[in-house]
Amino acid sequence: MFLDKEIKLLNVLILKEHIQVFFFGIPASGRKVDIDGVTLVKMKDRKIAQEQDFLDNLSFYQQLGLIPVE
């Protein structure tokens, strides 16, 4: 999705297995996770000048068993 000439909004879906030794301070669990989010990208001269990600951390933590699913 294009917000204007310089700022783009991208929908992101990350499908991974949590196998890194530590990810955001969380020890590897071996669980498969499905994380949804968006990325804002600022372009300058047709190149990425800045990027910021916003992920659904609540769902991620629930999938890892750190927060109970209600």
Is the pLDDT at 1 greater than 60? The verdict is no
Beta strands 32-44 and 7-17 are antiparallel
- Rounded Cα gap, residues 35 and 62, in angstroms: 11
Q: Under CATH, what is the fold of the domain 7-63? A: Nuclear Transport Factor 2; Chain: A, (3.10.450)
Structure confidence by residue, pLDDT tens digits, 17-66:
777 666 667 788 888 888 899 999 988 888 889 999 998 989 988 988 88
- Rounded Cα gap, residues 57 and 50, in angstroms: 21
Q: What is the pTM for the complete model shown? A: 0.65
Is the pLDDT at 2 greater than 70? The verdict is no
